[in-house]
Amino acid sequence: MLLLFAGIIPANALDLPALQEPQGTVSLRYMYISALIPALAINSSGKADCAGAVRLTSNDNSVELKVSLQKKNGSAWSAVKTWTERGVGKDGVTMEKT
């Protein structure tokens, strides 16, 4: 089983059907997830550190974590950078990107 988390900080979790595209700032499609931790820090120079972690309820599952750093131009948001990592088992996946 492959689990997918796609998100943009700030985190507002939404329980959506598996094939529906996200409409809010964070789209969360989940089953068998025991913990979900998004994080964003921006220093005084404007450098962003993005992080995320997903822990699973079973060693029989896998997960894909997608973190997207976005900026707002007028009323529209655009991706600055996007990272994707995969993990297997209860430890799931953890990523930290700059």
49 assigned to some structural domain: yes
Task: Give me the number of domains the chain comprises.
Answer: 1
64 assigned to some structural domain: yes
Q: Is the pLDDT of residue 1 over 90?
A: no
76 assigned to some structural domain: yes
Closest CA to 32 of 71, 77, 62: 62
Closest CA to 67 of 9, 1, 2, 3: 9
87 assigned to some structural domain: yes
43 assigned to some structural domain: yes
Q: Is the pLDDT of residue 67 over 80?
A: yes
Q: Collect all residues with Cβ–Cβ distance below 8 Å to 94 and sequence separation of at least 6.
A: 51, 52, 53, 54, 87
Which domain does 91 fall in, by range?
33-97
Beta bridge partner(s), residue 73 = 76
Characterise 46 by phi-psi region: left (phi > 0), alpha (psi -120 to 50), beta (else): left
25 assigned to some structural domain: no
Name the pTM for this structure: 0.65
75 assigned to some structural domain: yes
40 assigned to some structural domain: yes
